[in-house]
Amino acid sequence: MSMTHYMSLLADNQPWNLILFMAIPVIFAETITVTEFIILFNRGRQGGLNTFNKICSILAGLYFTGIFLYLFPTAFIPLTVNGEWHTWVDVVAVGFYLSGAFFLLPLALLELGVIGRKRSEDEKLKLHFILVSGFLIVAHIAMIFGMVNPEIVGGMAGMSH
């Protein structure tokens, strides 16, 4: 059975790639989401949970940006230049995975006060929630398409056609 490059990345160098490229970012995002729900439910604006949420948001954004900066030039560009994608399913899986940086980096920048300084606390909370939700959506799309056997949607001869 063939697999997408996304799944190959996670399957190689077990268990380290799985931990570094999947477990850590997803655990960060799910932790942020759960704490966000508790903060919203309790209408809390300060406290230990808020601080924990903020630290996780900053770390997740910086960590995933590092993943993006590593994988884009070492995987995405070579796969594209050399025509080595395993059908469109592979492009979707890897593309959506890497697009997570477009949600987590702004999340970190928001928490660091680099962006959104003039927004109210409610507006920041709303943007924070949207960014975390966006990451979870693209990460799950990447996971779903990453698990598809590319052979079921076409041959493995490349995507020149």
Query: Does the reported pTM lie above 0.75?
Result: yes
- pLDDT value at residue 161: 41
Residue 86 has pLDDT above 60, yes or no: yes
- pLDDT value at residue 43: 74
Q: Rounded to the nearest 5 degrees, what angle is found at the Cα of 10, between the Cα atoms of 6 and 15?
A: 175
Q: How far apart are CA 117 and CA 45, in angstroms?
A: 16
Two tokens, residue 123: 């507006």
Two tokens, residue 73: 């030039």
Contacts of 147 (CB under 8 A, 6+ apart): 4, 7
Interval 9-63: pLDDT, tens: 888 989 999 999 999 999 999 999 999 888 888 876 678 999 999 999 999 999 9
**Which pairs count as long-range contacts for 76-82, CB under 8 Å and 24+ apart, including other chains?**
79/5
Two tokens, residue 130: 């949207």
Interval 56-85: pLDDT, tens: 999 999 999 999 999 999 999 999 999 999
Chain mean pLDDT for the chain: 91
Q: How far apart are CA 114 and CA 141, in angstroms?
A: 29
